[in-house]
Amino acid sequence: MHVAADMAKVSSNPRFSERVSQLLSNMHLHEKIGQLCQVSGCEGHVSEHLAQQVRDGWVGSVINEVDGPTVNYLQHIAKQESRLGIPLLIGRDVIHGFKTIFPIPLGQAASWNAELVEQAARIAALEANSVGVNWTFAPMIDISRDPRWGRIAESLGEDPYLCSILGAAMVDGFQGTDMSESGQIAACAKHFAGYGATESGRDYGTTNIPENELRNIYLPPFKMASDSGAATFMSSFSDLNGVPASGNRWLMKKILREEWGFKGFVVSDWESIYQLEIHGLTENSRDSAQKAFNAGLDMEMVSTTYREHLEELLETKQVDIAQVDHSVGLILSVKEQLGLFDKDCQSPDTADAFYQQESLDVAKQIATQSCVLLKNHNQTLPINAQETQHIALIGPLADDGFEQLGTWIFDGEPQHSVTIRSALESACPSSVNITYDRAMATTRSYTTDLYAQALASANQADVIVMCVGEEAILSGEAHCRADIDLPGSQMELIEKMAELGKPIVLVVLAGRPLTLEPIIEKVDSVLYAWHPGTMAGPAIADLLLGEAVPSGKLPVTFPRKVGQIPLYYNQKNSGKPATNDQYIHMNDIPPRSPQTSLGMAAIHLDTHFSPLFEFGFGLSYSQFTYSQLTLSQHHINRSETLEVAVTVHNTGDWDADEVVQLYIRDLVASATRPVKELKQFSRVHVKRGEHKKVIFSLNINDLSFYNDEMQWAAESGHFHVWVGGSSATTLQQGFELIDG
């Protein structure tokens, strides 16, 4: 590409450091454009073409190169052989671990434990950084209300508050307090914004979100990430209200830059700038470059519209050189914050970075806390290993080190996974006979050839442990499902096992909520384990045998049927809300009934309006009761804080953790508010028989929302507050916010 003579030199910008300002003033135009370009690596080697591009200053970042010596060679070329010695950003999707794999993010969210989520991100950063990776494309903080969407596995669930808290914890874990310290990497909040609302749960699809809903539900986690210092943001693939996010100036400039004051830079998703033409927003790649750059996308991932067209766009004054300088300055500033200018290129030493015992301990702990006990009829769990003689371990996911890692684990190594089978065999005394039968080749299999042996083993057992669900490939990007029942013939297998009359424990490994209603009554216990990662086996074995007590809570609603989707706890009330008094099933309607005989409420006629399991739900081996919900006052003004106290009583036989959840409702507002909104939560350990007082503090910010004029404000009036163990809690008090 021909490079024109340098355009006007940039003067010192007080926003940038002296080093960044000096570089900007000395850069040729093509070197500036090069900083805006990210290219794909060569997977373990450096082609002469890529080496020359780096040498000539045409590359600002490389994605998907994780061979340590190769990364160091690229950095050597950039720092020692290019004209200005500007180091490279080395990007990688380190979504839920690098080598040590933690539960999928949706599973981590089920732990409701920000401290553990931060620790997992810190370990992932340390391992990735040991091979030269300095930038991850995480956390993914898209609000996800549709379990058909494959990328719900990467999300932190359906609630803005929980997602905000855990997303900020991930940012802190990746970046630390100083990104220049060894083992820290830059975070990237994605996908900005609204991607999780894609129609029909189909990846890359259209999203239509009213601005009030966008501001109150979908944007808060991104605002928290910005406030937490996330170094970068990534634009969404999707069309948002008619304007694809990668060309959406209102989103990138008005919201992100002007309203929030975001200080980092924005990168496109993979070729999403080029795809603006496919969307129909632009006529050609030149228009795409102009639209995206002027919208506020600082760096282009993989596609080459900036490299091919920015010079011409500058010459025709369709792009401003000052904006180019600003974008380059932002990118250089992140490189400086990472300490890349001052770090020496050296051969990596990864021997001490991967699979450290401390890392495995954290992986086991978060896997344990992420598992959600959905059912435990007659206290089938935990299994008493001293009184049990024979356990039949059945199912395609009981001994599969690859599938338990889940989606988006480019660098995970299944040979380091500890499976449920191996962990259970190690944990049980020799007196327990454990027989293992896969029963199905994969979770998608329809053949029944292996059933006979599995049924024979199960018929001899005291208890059947079935490990079912979906393989990793069935969730993640572009892996969306219209039917979210258990795939293959797994339901048939469960039905045949149920006919034996033995206690059945169902362990479900999946990348999304599955519709379990068809089989929920056929089994005694259900432990939902998501895809738990490297240490899945020890975590699940401890839970099955009572060495650990389940404490996970659902970060997303589980529908009864796929036709209920979208189904989420923080819905609006509507003018005709569903109630049990009004509900009637279609099979109970007399023939030729009058049209208006059914209560005229917001229901489906062929299923109950409630979910199978609500947001925040999760059982324990112990039992908890809530009482004495008290408020410090029942009228507060805008400068006051409301203390909300509740007593949690462990009435069971186990010392256990409980996630105490506080919800509010603004009863009357200028824009209708959800029936419940999570505002705070606390994970507390309560010994058996113990009463523990838990106190929350609410302030004016907790009561604020974007009103009918899109202004952030709290409106005076009456509120309800609930505290309990799930979003279905009924323990309630009321208070009033007054002016003055």
Write out the catalytic residue numbers: 269
CA 372 vs. chain centroid, Å, equals 17
Q: Are the C-beta atoms of 78 and 54 separated by less than 8 Å?
A: yes
Q: What is the dihedral of CA 601, 602, 608, 610, to 10 degrees?
A: -120
d(CA 24, CA 323): 12
Question: DSSP letter string over 433-482?
Answer: EEEEE--SSSTT----TTHHHHHHHHHT-SEEEEEEE--GGGSSTT---S
Q: Which residues contact 456 (CB under 8 A, 6 or more apart)?
A: none
d(CA 225, CA 209): 21
Write down the residue that tokens 């874990």 correspond to. 173
Angle at 202 between CA 198 and CA 204, to 5 degrees: 65
Q: Is 344 exposed, middle or buried (0-12, 13-18, 19+ CB in 10 A)?
A: exposed
13: which DSSP letter? Answer: P
Q: Are the C-beta atoms of 385 and 424 separated by less than 8 Å?
A: no
Alpha helices in 159-246 (DSSP H): 160-175, 211-213, 220-227
Q: Which residues contact 441 (CB under 8 A, 6 or more apart)?
A: 396, 447, 450
Whether the link from the prior residue into 566 is cis, omega within 30° of 0, is yes
d(CA 117, CA 102): 9
Q: Which residues contact 735 (CB under 8 A, 6 or more apart)?
A: 631, 633, 634, 635, 636, 642, 718, 719, 721
Give CA separation, 452 vs 494, 500, 503, in Å: 13, 13, 19
Task: Spell out where 241-341 has E strands.
Answer: 243-244, 265-267, 300-301
The pair of three-digit structure tokens given for residue 665, joined into one six-digit string: 């409702």
Task: Spell out where 601-703 has E strands.
Answer: 624-631, 635-636, 642-650, 656-666, 677-686, 691-698
d(CA 562, CA 336): 48
